[in-house]
Chains A and B, each alone.
Chain A
Amino acid sequence: MPRIYSLAALIVVWALAAALVQSRLLPGPLTIGATILADIRSGELPFQMSCTLGRVISSFAIAMILGIIAGYAMGRSKAVDRYADSWLIVLINMPALVTIIFAYIWIGLNETAAILAVAINKLPNVIVVIREGARALDPELDEMAKAFQFTWFSRIRHVVIPQLAPYLAASSRSGLSIVWKIVLVVELIGRPNGVGFVLGSAFSLFDMAKILSYAISFIVLMLVIESFLVQPLERRAIRWRRRPA
């Protein structure tokens, strides 16, 4: 409930400010609502959003899968960690823009380059978080699994993944938000469609209504994904914990 009040308050402030300024550069909530509806009807908004969402999902999936494997290996083996750590530091400190430009120049202005560039930007963050999780794995449970001859698969599924669950949740949460921000940059620089592309062309026309309506629509979409997909999954993963009285 407080969440709804605070959102409503934000919209009221916005409407007041727009009414006071009376400028093309700050359209009010009603104007934006009308623009969004019109673009949904014309099919423009759903198309651009699905382009962006597709890129978000693919690069997120690639970053998570590679990051989990690498992070787990680095957390479990000191030797791997020692060798891969300097690579990781390079990767962490690489500006997103540099990775994007490299990808576009080496691979070409295409979908592969776009998705890969985003995935590589997100990757080190996943590795760092999962490595911490892998380091914190309980050796006693590991021993128990060994003594009872757990298969490789049930060890991963019943012993390792539940312990990594909080780390997986943390990295996928921060991951989703980082990824979609970078996807917009990638689209702005080198893609002929997607929300980032639309924002870029709207910027050159100073079309604030368009910029605001696309930005807000996408934020709403990510909020929906967060609360209807990420949070329920997280709740399921921690259902064994005792609820506070």
Chain B
Amino acid sequence: MNDAQSAGDAAPLELRIDAKTFLSADGTPVEVVCGLKLRLEAGSFGALIGPSGCGKTTILRIAAGLDPDFQGQLRTPGSGRLGIVFQEPRLLPWRTVEENIRLALPARDAAVDLTELVEILGLGSHLTRYPGELSLGLARRAAIARAFAARPDFLLLDEPFVSLDEAVAARLRNELLALTTRTKVTTLFVTHNLAEAIQLADHLFFLSDRPTRIIAEKSLPPPRGTRSRDVITSIGDEMRMLVSQAATDAGGG
């Protein structure tokens, strides 16, 4: 793996969503995101935190360029090569783990050496298996490997650790931390788990209920990953205060 691949001269990730509406079943437009502005420095790890159903996935899909139907602007860093981990692993069930990872590579890298990446993620002995034979934890790892294998300029993760038991989730968090530190890829991470966000991220964005916008931001002092449980709890408490304050302000104004 080439450590400097996606760092260095890359520009920040900038996303501005003035408005994003869906048509509900009876045809009335519902505004889901409104006046959201987000800027993520190159090489940093941002976490979007918000209640369930607040439109986090919608924002991520827009950032991934999968949903061009919004008012606003998206500027992606570097050449715009994207690595993405969806909420479900979304592997091709008819291809082996290795084929799934390699298919995400650009043609010129098709034969690249994946050994190190799959070793870090503990996938070494599962490369020839089909996704249907994997546990959810392993399938998630395969999805993470696929996202990193493409050597992305930026990485999007949509609650990649939900519905895993805590021990597996904790291990995967550490693996993700190791990989993002090493590749210095610009990462945007969506979660509803505040402790997880504080452990992983340098920058937190708190989202409001619908229509969604950012109600509070917070930069965390480096380094990531070494924050102790106490530190995480105290930052968490502080953030909860800040957010509820911001929410009441927004409600009153």
A side interface size, CB within 8 A: 17
CB–CB B103/A154 < 8 A: yes
Quick one: closest A residue to B81, CB to CB? A149
Q: How far is the CB of B177 from chain A (nearest CB, A)?
A: 23
CB–CB A147/B103 < 8 A: no
Quick one: closest A residue to B104, CB to CB? A148
CB–CB B88/A240 < 8 A: no
CB–CB A150/B103 < 8 A: yes
Question: B133 contacts which chain A residues (CB < 8 A)?
Answer: 242
**CA A155 to CA B26, docked complex, whole Å:** 34
Q: Which of A122-143 contact B (CB under 8 A)?
A: 140-141, 143
Number of A-B contacts (CB under 8 A): 48
Q: Does B170 contact A (CB under 8 A)?
A: no
Q: Which of A97-144 contact B (CB under 8 A)?
A: 140-141, 143-144
Q: Evaluate whether A148 and B130 lie within 8 angstroms (CB atoms) in the complex, with A140-B88, A240-B93 already known.
A: no
**CA A154 to CA B130, docked complex, whole Å:** 18
Q: Does A181 contact B (CB under 8 A)?
A: no
Q: Does A241 contact B (CB under 8 A)?
A: yes
Q: Does A146 contact B (CB under 8 A)?
A: yes
**CA A151 to CA B94, docked complex, whole Å:** 18
Q: Which of B77-125 contact A (CB under 8 A)?
A: 81-84, 86, 88, 90, 92-95, 99, 103-104, 106-107
Question: B65 contacts which chain A residues (CB < 8 A)?
Answer: 147
Question: B83 contacts which chain A residues (CB < 8 A)?
Answer: 148
Question: A159 contacts which chain B residues (CB < 8 A)?
Answer: 92
Q: Does A24 contact B (CB under 8 A)?
A: no
CB–CB A140/B146 < 8 A: no
CB–CB A162/B106 < 8 A: no
Question: B92 contacts which chain A residues (CB < 8 A)?
Answer: 141, 158-159, 162
Q: Does B132 contact A (CB under 8 A)?
A: yes
Tell me which of A148, A149, A150, A240 contacts B95 (CB under 8 A).
A240
CB–CB B107/A151 < 8 A: yes
Q: Evaluate whether A144 and B95 lie within 8 angstroms (CB atoms) in the complex, with A149-B81, A158-B103, A240-B132 already known.
A: no
Q: Evaluate whether A147 and B106 lie within 8 angstroms (CB atoms) in the complex, with A159-B92, A240-B93 already known.
A: no
CB–CB A148/B94 < 8 A: no
Q: Does B33 contact A (CB under 8 A)?
A: no
Q: How far is the CB of A168 from chain B (nearest CB, A)?
A: 13
Specify the main secondary structure of chain A where it touches its partner.
helix
Quick one: closest A residue to B64, CB to CB? A147
Q: Evaluate whether A141 and B95 lie within 8 angstroms (CB atoms) in the complex, with A147-B66, A147-B82, A149-B81 already known.
A: no
Q: How far is the CB of A50 from chain B (nearest CB, A)?
A: 36
Using an 8 Å CB-CB cutoff, how does the interface string of B116-144 with A read, 1 for contact, 0 for none?
Answer: 00000000000000101100000000000
**CA A241 to CA B133, docked complex, whole Å:** 9
Q: Does B201 contact A (CB under 8 A)?
A: no
Q: How far is the CB of B112 from chain A (nearest CB, A)?
A: 15
Q: Evaluate whether A144 and B93 lie within 8 angstroms (CB atoms) in the complex, with A149-B81, A150-B103, A158-B103 already known.
A: no
Question: B82 contacts which chain A residues (CB < 8 A)?
Answer: 147-149
Using an 8 Å CB-CB cutoff, how does the interface string of A208-245 with B read, 1 for contact, 0 for none?
Answer: 00000000000000000000000000000000111000
Q: Does B207 contact A (CB under 8 A)?
A: no
Question: A148 contacts which chain B residues (CB < 8 A)?
Answer: 82-84, 103-104, 146, 150
Tell me which of B84, B94, B107, B132 contacts A147 (CB under 8 A).
B84
Using an 8 Å CB-CB cutoff, how does the interface string of B148-183 with A read, 1 for contact, 0 for none?
Answer: 001000000000000000000000000000000000
Nearest 8 CB-CB pairings of A with B = A162-B94, A148-B104, A240-B94, A240-B130, A144-B90, A147-B84, A242-B132, A147-B64
B residues adjacent to A (C-beta < 8 A): 61, 64-66, 81-84, 86, 88, 90, 92-95, 99, 103-104, 106-107, 130, 132-133, 146, 150
**What would be 28 A-B contacts, judged by CB atoms less than 8 Å apart?**
A140-B86, A140-B88, A140-B90, A141-B92, A143-B61, A143-B66, A144-B84, A147-B64, A147-B65, A147-B82, A148-B83, A148-B84, A148-B103, A148-B146, A148-B150, A149-B81, A149-B82, A149-B106, A151-B107, A154-B103, A158-B92, A158-B95, A162-B92, A162-B95, A240-B93, A241-B132, A242-B132, A242-B133
Additional pairs, 19, CB under 8 Å, beyond known A159-B92, A242-B130: A140-B86, A140-B90, A143-B66, A143-B86, A144-B84, A147-B66, A147-B82, A148-B83, A148-B84, A148-B104, A148-B146, A148-B150, A149-B106, A158-B99, A162-B94, A162-B95, A240-B130, A240-B132, A242-B132
